[in-house]
Amino acid sequence: MIEIELRLYATLRRYRPGTPLEGGEVVLLPEGSTVLDLLAGMGIPAPEVQTAFVNRKVRAMEQRLQPGDRVDLFPAIAGG
Protein backbone atom coordinates (compact mmCIF):
# COMPACT_ATOMS: atom_id res chain seq x y z
CA MET A 1 0.00 0.00 0.00
CA ILE A 2 1.05 3.58 -0.62
CA GLU A 3 -0.04 6.70 1.22
CA ILE A 4 -0.92 9.87 -0.67
CA GLU A 5 -2.42 13.22 0.32
CA LEU A 6 -5.68 14.12 -1.42
CA ARG A 7 -7.09 17.63 -1.70
CA LEU A 8 -10.44 18.34 -3.34
CA TYR A 9 -11.60 21.75 -4.51
CA ALA A 10 -14.92 23.47 -5.23
CA THR A 11 -17.80 21.11 -6.09
CA LEU A 12 -15.63 17.99 -5.68
CA ARG A 13 -15.58 18.55 -1.91
CA ARG A 14 -19.09 17.11 -1.70
CA TYR A 15 -17.60 13.64 -2.19
CA ARG A 16 -15.53 13.92 1.01
CA PRO A 17 -17.46 16.35 3.25
CA GLY A 18 -15.44 15.47 6.36
CA THR A 19 -12.11 16.53 4.86
CA PRO A 20 -10.67 19.62 6.58
CA LEU A 21 -10.71 22.84 4.57
CA GLU A 22 -7.01 23.31 5.24
CA GLY A 23 -4.71 20.46 4.47
CA GLY A 24 -5.78 17.26 2.85
CA GLU A 25 -6.86 13.74 3.56
CA VAL A 26 -4.44 10.86 3.79
CA VAL A 27 -5.53 8.02 1.49
CA LEU A 28 -4.10 4.50 1.26
CA LEU A 29 -3.98 2.91 -2.19
CA PRO A 30 -2.55 -0.29 -3.63
CA GLU A 31 0.88 0.08 -5.22
CA GLY A 32 0.63 0.90 -8.91
CA SER A 33 -2.57 2.94 -8.49
CA THR A 34 -3.30 5.79 -10.88
CA VAL A 35 -5.27 9.00 -10.46
CA LEU A 36 -8.21 7.16 -12.08
CA ASP A 37 -7.92 4.40 -9.46
CA LEU A 38 -7.95 7.06 -6.75
CA LEU A 39 -11.14 8.58 -8.18
CA ALA A 40 -12.85 5.20 -8.33
CA GLY A 41 -11.87 4.42 -4.76
CA MET A 42 -13.23 7.76 -3.54
CA GLY A 43 -16.48 7.43 -5.51
CA ILE A 44 -15.70 10.50 -7.64
CA PRO A 45 -16.91 10.21 -11.25
CA ALA A 46 -13.92 10.82 -13.56
CA PRO A 47 -15.87 13.16 -15.89
CA GLU A 48 -16.33 15.58 -12.98
CA VAL A 49 -12.58 16.12 -12.62
CA GLN A 50 -11.20 18.64 -15.08
CA THR A 51 -7.65 18.91 -13.77
CA ALA A 52 -5.44 16.70 -11.63
CA PHE A 53 -2.24 18.02 -10.12
CA VAL A 54 0.28 15.55 -8.74
CA ASN A 55 2.91 17.29 -6.65
CA ARG A 56 1.71 20.63 -8.06
CA LYS A 57 2.15 19.65 -11.72
CA VAL A 58 -0.73 18.94 -14.11
CA ARG A 59 -0.84 15.23 -14.86
CA ALA A 60 -2.96 12.82 -16.89
CA MET A 61 -5.58 10.69 -15.17
CA GLU A 62 -3.43 7.67 -16.02
CA GLN A 63 -0.55 9.05 -13.92
CA ARG A 64 0.80 6.34 -11.62
CA LEU A 65 0.98 7.54 -8.02
CA GLN A 66 3.98 7.17 -5.73
CA PRO A 67 4.19 7.10 -1.92
CA GLY A 68 3.95 10.61 -0.50
CA ASP A 69 2.39 12.18 -3.60
CA ARG A 70 0.05 15.13 -3.13
CA VAL A 71 -2.97 15.01 -5.44
CA ASP A 72 -5.09 18.13 -5.97
CA LEU A 73 -8.31 17.65 -7.95
CA PHE A 74 -10.31 20.44 -9.56
CA PRO A 75 -13.67 20.34 -11.35
CA ALA A 76 -14.46 22.26 -14.52
CA ILE A 77 -15.18 25.82 -13.51
CA ALA A 78 -17.41 28.08 -15.57
CA GLY A 79 -16.97 31.81 -15.52
CA GLY A 80 -16.90 34.84 -17.60
Q: Judge contact between 4 and 71, C-beta under 8 A.
A: yes
Cα–Cα distance measured from residue 57 to residue 70, given in angstroms and rounded to the nearest whole number = 10
Measure the CA angle with vertex 37, ends 33 and 75; round to 5°. 125
Determine, yes or no, domain membership for 53: yes
Determine, yes or no, domain membership for 63: yes
Terminus-to-terminus CA distance in the chain, angstroms?
A: 43
Cα–Cα distance measured from residue 77 to residue 80, given in angstroms and rounded to the nearest whole number = 10
Domain range enclosing 61? 2-75
CATH code of the domain in which 22 resides: 3.10.20.30
Using the predicted structure, report yes or no on whether residue 79 has a pLDDT greater than 60.
no
Determine, yes or no, domain membership for 80: no
Determine, yes or no, domain membership for 35: yes
Query: Which pLDDT belongs to residue 36?
Result: 97
Query: Which pLDDT belongs to residue 34?
Result: 98
Query: Which pLDDT belongs to residue 16?
Result: 87
Domain count for the chain, please give it. Answer: 1
**pTM given for the model:** 0.91
- pLDDT tens for each residue of 5-63: 999 999 999 998 887 777 789 999 999 999 999 999 999 999 999 999 999 999 999 99
Cα–Cα distance measured from residue 6 to residue 25, given in angstroms and rounded to the nearest whole number = 5
Determine, yes or no, domain membership for 30: yes
Query: Which pLDDT belongs to residue 80?
Result: 52
